[in-house]
Chain A
Amino acid sequence: MKSMFKKAFAVVLAAAMLLSLAACGSYTADNTEYVIGVSGPLTGPAAVYGVAVQNSAQMAIDEINAAGGLDGVNFKLVAVDDKHDATKVAANFTTLMEGGMQVSLGTVTTAPGLEFTKLSNDDKVFFLTPSASGDKIPEFDNGFQMCFADGNQGAVAANFVNGLGLNKIGIFYKSDDPYSKGIFDQFKANLNKDIETVETVFTAANETDFSAQITQLKDCDFIFMPIYYQPASVFMTQAKGVIKNNATYYGCDGFDGLAGQIDLATIPQEVSMLSHFDSNAKEGAAADFVKKYTDKFGAETLNQFGASAYDCVYAIYNAMKELKAAGKDIPVTITAEELYNLLEDHFTGDFSYSGVTGNDITWEDNGYVNKAAVKFTLKEADK
């Protein structure tokens, strides 16, 4: 086809050039605000998590700015889409850096987060991720998590199950998801070897029909499901009438958001989870957050990812405020590396934060979070 170098391409080229010019316009390298960067899935199948983080972090920043920012200096959030794809992170990270990012929320999901961890370590950028829960995310000094690490969640869940005195449990997990697989591996490793397990898996390619797995799990009284709420809601809906009514569905923090998906009253089984946040919270900081969020963005995208992101922004803000109060100089043009040195010391020091996802949250030297995991019973089993 000869007619290829055509005007149309010229038009695209022109459009692309315009876009790149626009890029120069929207970011400023010499900051007039503190810039917080985050990379997350804002489109594609995982978008609901990225959007929740973006909304909540923006909400926290708007609140902080409305209250005068940090001694009159405002914060700005730049959220870039990584489509849950690690190969998109390098472009995002360099663009964020060129846009003046000083501190980061890392990534929303674990897979791209593994890339982000190393890139941010090269450039010494402090990040506190709301939801990238992989064990290797805080691999270097600059990485911190607000969520529980997968391995820890798996181990805690296994200890809980060991204490129940069951002979046989069912497990339902997603084998191609680092979150689900990560929890499962540690759960299995820590589970009492006397307990017989029925393991069933699914993958991203077959997320709509779980009848084969449900049939295998129908004799289990206790089913451990380290998965996110969307497949969990499908599973519970399809399992009605097959899985015993007095069975228990037990999940980790990924379960949060279930109540916004399905009417749990119609699920006969018990549904409970080990988590740091319950979007059904009726009191305390969590309930305040839920109300503010739903007033602004509606209930559809409300989940623990958002709550955690909200806390991340406030934790960073509080830390910076305390540092300033302690006489440290944090000018608005501070470089990412300078801020990293300050924040890293502070987070591994005696800094503690209380917010939506827990009280007196502290961080270990290796970046893992230290806070209480609460067992929430979302619904009791029908009698």
Chain B
Amino acid sequence: MKTRKNVKPTHYINYVVITVAAIVLGILSLVGALPASYQIILENIAIAITLAVSLSMVVGFLGELSLGHAGFMCVGAYLGGKVVYVLSPSIGEIPALLLGFVVGGILAAICGIIIGLPALRLRGDYLAIVTLAFGEIVWSLFMNSSEESFGGALGMPTVRIDKDYLFIIALVVVLICLAVTQNLIRSKHGRAITSIRDNEIAAKATGINVTKYKLAVFAISAFFAGVAGVLLASSNYTVQSQKFNYNYSIEILVMVVLGGMGNINGSIIAAALITFLDIKLQTVLTGELAVMQDLVYALILIVIVIYNNAPGLKAFREKYNFKNLLAKVIKDKNDPSHARDDEAKWDRVPTKIQMDEVLSVDVQVKSPYTPDKAEKGDN
């Protein structure tokens, strides 16, 4: 990888923010000034960010819709969690946890490659449904495991790492995940990946090895999902497989979409806010108010998505966009480094997820298209 010339402070702002947060909160926690409930919120936020950033690689940068991210997480949580559980009495919790990350991540990555294979043949919604199917298969297999192996319906016992410092470890995982993802995306490999998203055939024509990149992205994304799974297992005393059903995958997808496709900082903020909101709604709306949780959540979700994406609100958005205002003050908007990586404009590039490509309607096509013969109006 060549050294980049256009290194801008904005490229590193997320590392700085997370590092500072980890240090400050870590000190607070160690002197006992951080309430336990906030430690747990932080653990969950770190897990959510890892999941959102890793899913964002597949959905945002590679442009394939994945509805089975929780499946990879499930693999990591069970297999990595098992490693931690078995080894921590002999080698100590922290070394076991680190080993668990490696094992859980690698095994999840292998699953990622297996699922990446159909991705070479399928596209759009057909791939989405295969990933969904994968996720459902994985958790239902763990659900039916024997009690001795993975606990079956009762779930598998895991080691709960002390909450005083688990969130710091989790934030370090987030930093590593960010470092890998951002460096990959900003390298020539990253440009190759986004070019596959924007036009696969053109990418092939320029000599990009589509197979290699697709599998690599699926593997890396699954690796971090697996690591996040180990984190989840280590923040609880049990893992229970029904947690990892399609609803969880969709929750992660919501974070990615809400954060803006291919916008890593957006994903981070969306993951943190959604997790915070979710836990706060859950613990504040107690008793008879509990039924209001989903109502509030749903309304917020709908309003934000419409506000952020509605073409009709574009003018309004641009007027009241503090990032634009900020950009005016801080830097020149025409700076080429600014638009290069994190801000691929999903709504403007035709991508595979726009379902036109895969749509089929049962109407008789009078003159089927053949590649040899140019079709009228086809350019």
Contacts and interface: CB of A to CB of B under 8 A. Distances in A.
Report A-B touching, CB under 8 Å: yes
B284 A26 contact: yes
Nearest to A122: B160
A42 B283 contact: no
Contacts of B40: 90-91, 94
B135 interface: no
Interface in B186-205: none
B231 to A, nearest CB: 11
B340 to A, nearest CB: 12
A6 B304 CA distance: 9
Interface in B316-333: 317-318, 320-324
B36 interface: yes
A4 B284 contact: no
A1 B323 contact: no
Contacts of B286: 26, 78-81
Given A3-B317, A43-B290, A87-B236, A81 B35 contact: no
Nearest to B274: A12
Contact of B152 (A22, A54, A83, A181): A181
Interface in A49-101: 54, 58, 77-83, 85-92, 94-95, 97-98
B14 interface: no
B93 to A, nearest CB: 15
A300 interface: no
Interface string B294-325: 10000010011001110000000110111110
A91 B238 contact: no
B284 A19 contact: yes
A98 B35 contact: yes
Interface stretch (B113-121, B124-132, B175-183, B341-349): B341-349
Nearest to A118: B237
A81 B290 contact: yes
A88 B243 CA distance: 10
Interface stretch (B1-9, B259-267, B350-358, B371-379): B259-267
B122 interface: no
Given A1-B263, A9-B269, A91-B283, A181 B155 contact: no
B348 to A, nearest CB: 9
A85 B259 CA distance: 26
A114 interface: yes
A254 B307 CA distance: 46
Contact of A134 (B154, B259, B263): B154
A4 B260 contact: yes
A80 B263 contact: no
B154 A1 contact: no
Interface of B: prevailing SS: helix
Contacts of A20: 280, 284
A115 B273 contact: no
A1 B59 CA distance: 14
Interface in A223-281: none
Nearest to B345: A1
A223 B269 CA distance: 54
A8 B322 contact: no
Given A1-B261, A3-B321, A111-B240, A91 B284 contact: no
B88 interface: no
A118 B163 CA distance: 14
Nearest to A58: B287
B41 interface: yes
B318 to A, nearest CB: 7
A89 B235 CA distance: 11
B279 interface: yes
B273 A12 contact: yes
A80 B282 contact: yes
A86 B283 contact: no
Contacts of A80: 282-283, 286, 290
B221 interface: no
A136 to B, nearest CB: 7
Nearest to B44: A91
Interface string B238-280: 1110110000000000000001111101100100010011011
A82 B144 CA distance: 23
A177 B243 CA distance: 13
Nearest to A135: B154
Contacts of A7: 320-322
Contacts of A42: 287, 290-291
A119 B36 CA distance: 12
A54 B287 contact: yes
B242 A204 contact: yes
Nearest to A80: B286
Given A9-B269, A81-B285, A91-B40, A176 B143 contact: yes
B153 A16 contact: no
Specify which of A85, A94, A178 lies most central, judged by the most chain B CB atoms within 10 Å of its CB. A94
Contact of A86 (B36, B155, B163): B155
B290 A114 contact: no
Contacts of B266: 1, 4-5
A4 B36 contact: no
Closest 8 CB pairs of A and B: A1-B260, A42-B290, A4-B266, A95-B283, A118-B237, A81-B290, A94-B36, A94-B37
Given A3-B317, A5-B269, A19-B277, 12 more contacts: A8-B307, A12-B273, A19-B280, A79-B287, A87-B235, A90-B163, A110-B154, A115-B238, A118-B237, A119-B237, A176-B140, A176-B143
21 contacts: A1-B346, A4-B269, A6-B320, A6-B321, A16-B277, A20-B284, A26-B284, A43-B293, A54-B288, A80-B283, A81-B282, A85-B243, A86-B155, A86-B243, A90-B236, A94-B35, A97-B36, A134-B154, A136-B154, A176-B143, A181-B152
Interface of A: 1-10, 12-13, 15-16, 19-20, 22-23, 26, 42-43, 54, 58, 77-83, 85-92, 94-95, 97-98, 110-111, 114-115, 118-119, 134, 136, 175-178, 181-182, 203-205
